[in-house]
Structure 1
Amino acid sequence: MPHSNHVENGLNVCWRRASVKKGATFRKLFTAIVGAHFKSATEIVVNNLCNIIQDFLNIFMLHLVL
């Protein structure tokens, strides 16, 4: 009986470790995906802002020339 109990406890510990490891993997994957989306959104905002500033400067320079 003690051996059976020991094996069962060992399997439970292994299962818990596997579950924790699996959870950590999902967390890393989720963080990577969400981080990529935030990065993409930030890049879009920055690119749009740069384009707006560039357009404004072009119009401003055009008025100076005229």
Structure 2
Amino acid sequence: MNIDEQSAVDLPETMRAWVLHGPGDLRMEERPVPLPRRGEVLVRVSSVGVCGSDKHFYREGRASSDIVT
């Protein structure tokens, strides 16, 4: 087993993620943990912040010209 295979063995299969489906529709879902390809890394997030554009996405479904699809 090489180091890439060993790292993949230690990863959980799923993770919890907040997913915005539309204005005011934010749901916590179980999602598969993505497996990094060669030259990529997977980062474990321990905390996050919310910025002004996040608030606009949640309330209005858009921030400037970016629209939740």
The alignment's TM-score, normalised by the length of structure 1, stands at 0.18
Higher relative contact order (CA 8 A, sep 6+): 2
Bigger radius of gyration:
1
The alignment's TM-score, normalised by the length of structure 2, stands at 0.18
Q: Specify which structure has the higher proportion of helix.
A: 1
Q: Specify which structure has the higher proportion of strand.
A: 2
